[in-house]
Amino acid sequence: MKIHVNLRVLFSLAVVVLGGYALYASLHWPFKTALFPRVIGAPLVILAAVEMLLSAFGREKRQEGNAVDFQFTTDVDPAVAQRRTWMILGWTFGFLILILLVGFLLAVPLFVFLYLKLVGKEGWIITLSLTAVSWIFMEAVFDRLLHLPFPPGWIWSLWS
Amino acid sequence: MLDAFVQGLVVIFEWQTFLMMLLGIFLGFWVGLLPGLGGATTLALMLPFIYKMNPVEAFAFLLGMHSVTATTGDITSVLFGVPGEGSTAATILDGHAMAKKGEAGRALGAALMSSLVGALIGAFALALAIPVVRPLVLTFGAPELFMLAVVGIAFISSLSGQGGRALLRGFLAGLLGLLVSLVGQDPQGGVQRFTFGQLYLWSGLDLVPVLVGLFAIPEIMDLAVRGTSIAGEISEKNLNRGVWQGVKDTFHHFWLTVRCSLVGTFIGILPGLGGGVAQWIAYGHATQSARDSTERSGFGKGDVRGVLGPGAANNSKEGGSLIPTIAFGVPGSSSMAILLGAFFLQGIIPGPDMLDKHLVLTFSMVWTMVVANVITVAVSLVFLNQLAKLTMIRGSILIPFILLLAFIGAYTSNNHVGDLLVFLIFGLVGYVMIRCGWPRAPLVLGFVLGKIAENNFYISTIRYSGAWLHRPVVLVLLAITLVVVTYPFLQMRERKSQIDEAIA
Amino acid sequence: MRKANAVTLFFAFLLVPFLAYGAGYYEGKTLTIVVGYKPGGGYDSYARLIAKHLPKYLPGNPTIVIQSMPGANSIIGANHLYGAAKPDGLTIGTFNNGLVIAQLTRVEGVSYDLTKLSWIGSLANDAAVLTVRTDLPFKTVDDLRKAKEPVIIGATGPGSSTFDFPALLKEFAGINVKIIPGYSSSADVMLAIERKEVDGRAGSYASILPFIERGLVRPLVRTRVSVPEIEKLPVDEDLATSARGKAILAIRSTPEAIYRPYAAPPGTPPEVVKILREAFAKVTQDKELLADAKKGKLPVDYVSAEESLKLVREVLKQPPEVVQEIAKYIRFGD
């Protein structure tokens, strides 16, 4: 029998660990606090273990994999798809880091500009005008109108 | 009674009142559309303006604004897969899937029309229920609320795919959601559960960053991978035809829309269930309308019924959620708490009087919600086809803006960096779940119902010991739970016997 | 000539603070009020009330904006005010009055020190009351003590006055109650009272007042802060049967005298703090504000900065063994 190690196995393993942690944490709690975490955690660990074993050892009937949910596109060449997946993940987390570094108000136009220019390879007119739109939008709606507390980026703390 | 009903309509058509309502609708339109603009925050910002208005004007303004947000929130959900409001996320599952098939117009038409039907039914159900509304609300104590949560959780079985394996994954997703709902301080022992020493987690995870992450990130990634526009390679002609089709769909599945509207109204009336619940139960109910399991697995991939159900429910619930505020002075959500503040400013004390002495005002509120929705939908229908064209824009131009909306939408729920982390973590979870064939809807259902179930379980047990199990409504709800759980299995068997017959 | 220059310079120096902080300090600037909660609660309502009327009492008529920084029952907001906000008088904040107890019991995550904040004062005080349904025969605390079956009190959870106050009364004043925590908000407890699921609730007097006026519940005990209408009710600490109980009850209710506290970050220039204090003292006498406050059912009763700080110090000066006792009974939470 062949053992598959794929995302399905790893994800169910992660859920087993998570459920296990919940059960472990509940050991230190009074009964009423711990009851629900245990009632939920125990079947979670068992079922996730079953799912893990099924994914690792079993083959799956095609139709059974159909969740009531959408499926990722399969039209794109797997190698290209993988590269694009990592790219967008990088950009998304990059956005977060940019926000933390330079603050929301600057990160937004910067991100829009960089994405349009580097990924979209758009012309200057589109890039600059859309960047301006995003900047005005942030400044007017979220800063001036709603007064959201945007933490200043870490970079600025170097100067003060 | 009837007199007040009619008079309530007449007063909102006085020109000053009507103007205020239009202003409210205009603001609410944008509030709903933009994920970062929350209903409660904007209501609070508007409060200073109502000091000088009379009560009818003030509520025409505030409710006009409030009731439209749920309608236009659906638009963002359908077009970009980012929930415009916390209460419009369920529309994404099928609505955005339709948009990706080039049916954005149809999905928008269906979402808006069902919203309108929902608002109308919610308002009329409310008007009819006013004489019995106090006893109705009071029948639902902690044991009944607990059982309602159980009924809701039971919908997991219909939100999973067909076959044992899919069911297993559905339950896993549901349990995961339940577990996540337990984060935060436990009211029984005062213990911080799963907070890892983070102040941010004390009050538990917020619905909005979780939903935005779970739904928006996978869609953004899919869009980036496909490298096309949202609608893919579909000609513009096709796209434009859709809106009327969507409107027609609403009437084609009229009874489903009506049932989901009633579900929404009912859940709205009961305080303590929270804004996220109605749409998901309605979605679960919509999936049950599938005639067989093949049809059911089409949900989440662009079945229009998956748009109609939540679309209807999240609007009809707004009418219902006015009731606890009006009749008891007990707000069911932060928006309603602000509205309660507006009542005080207007010198009105909510309570039984509102169903009696101030009945005209109460009905004028109901009518405001109806008229505001009619206006919004009528106006929107005109340019929905234009909106649908947004799905033809190159993905590489849209992506930074969708990401921006998602980041802002998540951040504004607590104005805390933790929101962004929760958003990204759940985004990854959502992505991996789809890759692994785990359905996301059960997770959300577990997440929105877990805390309700736990709290009301303890209240029931401490208050009544075991006796609450014999309460009549509890028994009825238990029966409903059994039906809901077994329904997909019955469906499966029926289908199997059909196949067997065909083979024989 | 030289002498004249020196004199000018001397006067100029004297004038600098006035130029910097006087006439137009807030001219064209924005004063931010950081609120530790989301919109829809009392802290937010008070902040918006103040924001509407305060500008005319500040030199230069600044714009005032409200920033919500919710989380951990306003500890996040208070930490921000203490550690991150700039002490330039352009940021002030409001937070839960119980944060002083959280500091006293060294709750994990607390990084502020309330005694170091530049206090502005408190907008209102409030008493906690324990109320029971009017259709029940309990009219005095003694009735509660003698109740054959425990009286059922609905609550949100430990750390809120809906839970802590009756729990301490049960422990130290011997009232026969059973507390049921788990309601998602105090409004939910009120509804549970309507449907007779619970017999009563505790909480701040101002928040229960509409329901007392409507005849749904009647108050039986109050805390030490006096509100005219309930002056005659027995005070919790007088009911305590032990000295220890009396002390703990007193400490729990002391912060209620500064129920809506306002402060600026530590190190805010004293001149600016003075401007703010004076403005708060004046605005809380303002007729228009009082009219709005009355309409919005937000009682206003200014407590000065000195008095506020004194109360904070009073709570914090407890010896370690008392702190340990308090931490046993009062668990600050969300």
C153 bridge partner residues: C179, C200
As a whole number, mean pLDDT of residues C69-94 equals 93
Which residue carries 């303002």 as its tokens? C286
Lowest pLDDT segment from A62-76, A145-159, C207-221: A62-76
Q: Which helix (H) or strand (E) holds B290?
A: none
B149's CB contacts (< 8 A; 6+ apart) are: B449, B452, B453, B456
| Cβ neighbours of residue C211 closer than 8 Å, sequence gap 6 or more | B329, C131, C190, C193, C217
- Predicted local confidence at residue C19, as pLDDT: 47
Cβ-defined contact of C198 to B203 (cutoff 8 Å): no
- The neighbours of chain C, by the rule of 3 or more Cβ pairs under 8 Å, are A, B
- Host H or E run for residue A65: none
- Tens digit of pLDDT for each residue in B361-391? 888 888 898 899 999 999 988 888 888 888 8
Whole-number average pLDDT of chain A:
88
Grouping H, G, I as helix, E, B as strand and the rest as coil, residue A99 is: helix
Give the pLDDT mean for B278-286: 92
Under a CB-based contact definition with an 8 Å cutoff, are residues A88 and B424 in contact? no
Q: Kindly report the CA angle at C324 between C318 and C327, in degrees rounded to 5?
A: 100
Q: In this complex, do A11 and B436 lie within 8 Å of one another by their Cβ atoms?
A: yes
For B71-211, strand residue ranges (E) read 184-185, 192-193
Taking the alpha carbons of B23, B29, B30, B35 in that order, is the dihedral positive or negative? Answer: positive
C304: β partners = C121
Inter-residue contact B331 to B324 (CB < 8 Å): yes
Categorise residue B292: left if φ over 0, alpha if ψ from -120 to 50, beta otherwise.
Answer: beta
Question: From residue B389, how far is each of B142, B242, B400 by CA, in Å?
Answer: 48, 11, 18
* C-beta of residue A109 within 8 angstroms of C-beta of residue A138: yes
Whether residue A135 lies within 8 A of chain B, CB to CB, comes out as no
Question: Where does the pLDDT of residue C18 fall: very low under 50, low under 70, confident under 90, or very high at 90 and above?
Answer: very low
Mean pLDDT of C279-296: 92
CB contact set of A110 (below 8 Å; sequence gap of 6+): A98, A102
* CB of C65 less than 8 A from some CB of A: yes
Tens of pLDDT, residue by residue over A66-103, are: 677 888 888 888 899 999 999 999 999 999 999 999 99
Both structure tokens of B383: 């340019």
At position A143, the amino acid (one-letter code) is D
B331 touches chain C (CB under 8 A): yes
Structure tokens belonging to residue B265: 């109204």
- CA dist., res. B77 & res. C328, Å (int): 48
Given this model, what pLDDT does residue C1 score? 42
Axis-axis angle for helices B277-288, B254-269 (nearest 10): 150
- Select the residue of B141, B187, B329 nearest C157 (Cβ to Cβ): B187
- The secondary structure of residue B186, as a DSSP letter, is -
**Contact yes or no for C155/C197 (Cβ under 8 A):** no
pLDDT at A58 over 80: no
Over residues B297-310, the mean pLDDT reads 90
pLDDT digits (tens, 9 = 90+) for B121-154: 988 887 888 888 888 888 899 999 999 999 999 9
Chains in contact with B via at least 3 Cβ–Cβ pairs below 8 Å = A, C
Interacting residues of B100 by C-beta distance below 8 A, sequence separation 6+? A70, B222, B230, B231, B232, B302, B391
pLDDT at C144: 94
Residues 6+ apart with CB under 8 A from A133: none
Asked if the C-beta of A157 comes within 8 angstroms of chain B's C-beta atoms, the answer is no
Contact A110/B at CB under 8 A = no
Above pLDDT 70, what percent of chain B? 95
Is-contact C249 C168, C-beta < 8 A? yes
Query: Which has more confidence, A58 or B428?
Result: B428
Chain A contact for B159 (CB, 8 A cutoff):
yes
Mean pLDDT of B21-33: 92
Backbone angles phi, psi at C222, to 5 degrees: -130, 170
Q: Looking at the predicted structure, is the pLDDT value of residue C2 above 70?
A: no
> Which residue in this structure is represented by tokens 């509407």?
C52
Residue B238 confidence class, pLDDT cut points 50, 70, 90: low
Q: What is the pLDDT of residue B321?
A: 84
Angle, vertex CA C101, rays to CA C96 and CA C107, nearest 5: 95
Q: Which of A23, A70, A112, A121 to mutate to test the interface with B (most CBs of B within 10 A)?
A: A70
In chain A, the residue whose alpha carbon lies closest to the alpha carbon of B41 is A146
Ramachandran class of B415: left when φ > 0, alpha when ψ lies in -120 to 50, beta otherwise: left
What's the average model confidence in pLDDT over B276-300? 85
Q: Which residue of C has its CA nearest to B334?
A: C40
Residues near A66 by beta carbon (within 8 Å), at least 6 away in sequence:
B161, B162, B163, B166, B297, B437
pLDDT at C230 over 80: yes
Cβ contact A92:A46 at 8 Å: no
Kindly report the three-state secondary structure assignment for every residue of C87-116.
CCCCEEEECCCCHHHHHHCCCCCCCCCHHH
Largest CA-CA distance found in chain B, in angstroms, rounded: 78
Closest of C176, C167, C180, C168 to residue C148, by C-alpha: C176
Q: How many percent of chain C have pLDDT more than 70?
A: 93
Assign 3-state DSSP to chain C and report helix, strand, coil percentages, each to 5.
Answer: 50, 15, 35
The two tokens of residue B490 are: 């019955």
- Asked if C209 and C203 touch (Cβ cutoff 8 Å), the reply is no
- B191 CB neighbours in chain A (<8 A) are 29-30, 33
Q: Do B337 and C41 touch (CB under 8 A)?
A: yes
Residue B411 has pLDDT above 50, yes or no: yes
Q: Is C198 on the interface with B (CB under 8 A)?
A: yes
Best of A68, A88, A115 to disrupt the B interface (most B CBs within 10 Å) is A68
Which of A60-64, A143-147, B3-7, B220-224 has maximum average pLDDT?
B220-224
- Chain centroid offset of residue B179 CA: 21
Read off the tokens for B393.
Answer: 């824009």
pLDDT band at B338 (very low <50, low <70, confident <90, very high): confident
Segment B82-102 mean pLDDT: 90
Query: Across the A/C interface, how many CB contacts are shorter than 8 Å?
Result: 10
Task: Decide: B380 and B72 in contact? Cβ < 8 Å.
Answer: yes
Question: Worst-scoring range by mean pLDDT, A63-67, A139-143, B453-457, C227-231?
Answer: A63-67
The answer to whether the Cα torsion of B344, B347, B350, B354 is positive or negative is negative
- Predicted confidence (pLDDT) at residue B241 exceeds the cutoff of 90: no
Give mean pLDDT, residues B166-175: 93
φ, ψ of residue B34 to 5 degrees: the values are -90, 120
Radius of gyration of chain C measured on its C-alpha atoms: 22
The yes-or-no verdict on residue C92 having pLDDT over 70 is yes
Cβ atoms of residues B394 and B229 within 8 Å: yes
Say if residue C12's pLDDT is above 60: no
Which structure tokens are listed for C73?
């029952």
Is A149 an 8 Å CB contact of chain C?
yes
Provide the 3-class DSSP secondary structure of residue A149. Answer: coil
**Model pLDDT for residues B171-184, shown as the tens digit of each residue:** 999 999 999 999 99
Q: Which of C21, C68, C98 is nearest to C277 (CA)?
A: C21
C177 vs A157: which has the higher pLDDT: C177
Instruction: Specify whether the CB–CB gap between B443 and B174 falls below 8 A.
Output: yes
The more confidently predicted of residues B180 and B276 is: B180
What residues contact residue C4 under an 8 Å CB cut-off, 6+ apart? none
The per-residue pLDDT for A132 is 95
Q: Which residues in chain C touch residue A147, judged by CB atoms under 8 angstroms apart?
A: 32, 65-67
Dihedral-angle region of residue B57 (phi above 0 means left; psi in -120 to 50 means alpha; beta otherwise): alpha
